[in-house]
């Protein structure tokens, strides 16, 4: 699993002009699932994201986690994180998991964050989405298994 974790002031996702989800302070997480991923990998990454100390304390140091600040999460499935551009100009996505494998794992990732007490919303798997991100910092972290 590959994640792009962005600290945000707010974020939202829309499909066909309909806002599906909106969050305030928290994290927008772009999530790609690879062929080798399994439920254990997903749970470990959810725990890591929830406890990643990337929110500032009173002294301006990154000492607080999403749990500590009571932040929200917005998860957007994004198979393009598995793009391979080593050959030619058209990306290959052969390492991305098939939708029937990826969707349940993205859903499990969202549920794992909820189980940790984080208010979590998602986009619509497989849809053409418009994602609005108001970065805070900016702070962007890449995580993978």
What is the set of active-site residues?
Answer: 78-80
Question: What b-and-e string marks burial along 109-123, b requiring 16 or more CB atoms within 10 Å of the CB?
Answer: bbebbeebebebbbb
Q: Using CA of residue 42, residue 125, residue 139, residue 65, what is the dihedral sign?
A: negative
Tell me the C-alpha to C-alpha distance, in Å, between residue 39 and each of 33, 110, 145: 11, 12, 12
Distance CA 102, CA 31 (A): 10
Distance CA 133, CA 145 (A): 24
Q: Using CA of residue 22, residue 47, residue 69, residue 81, what is the dihedral sign?
A: negative
């Amino acid at each position: 699993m590959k994640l792009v974790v962005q600290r945000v002031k707010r974020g939202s996702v829309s499909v066909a002009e309909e806002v599906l989800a909106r969050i305030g302070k928290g994290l927008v997480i772009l999530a790609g699932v690879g062929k080798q991923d399994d439920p254990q990998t997903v749970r470990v990454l959810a725990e890591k994201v929830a406890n990643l100390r990337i929110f500032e304390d009173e002294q301006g140091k990154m000492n607080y986690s999403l749990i500590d600040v009571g932040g929200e999460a917005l998860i957007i499935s994004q198979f393009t994180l598995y793009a391979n551009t080593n050959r030619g100009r058209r990306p290959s996505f052969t390492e991305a998991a098939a939708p029937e494998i990826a969707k349940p794992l993205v859903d499990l990732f969202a549920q794992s964050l909820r189980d940790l007490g984080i208010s979590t919303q998602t986009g619509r798997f497989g849809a053409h989405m418009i994602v609005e991100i108001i970065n805070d910092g900016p702070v962007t972290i890449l995580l993978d298994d």
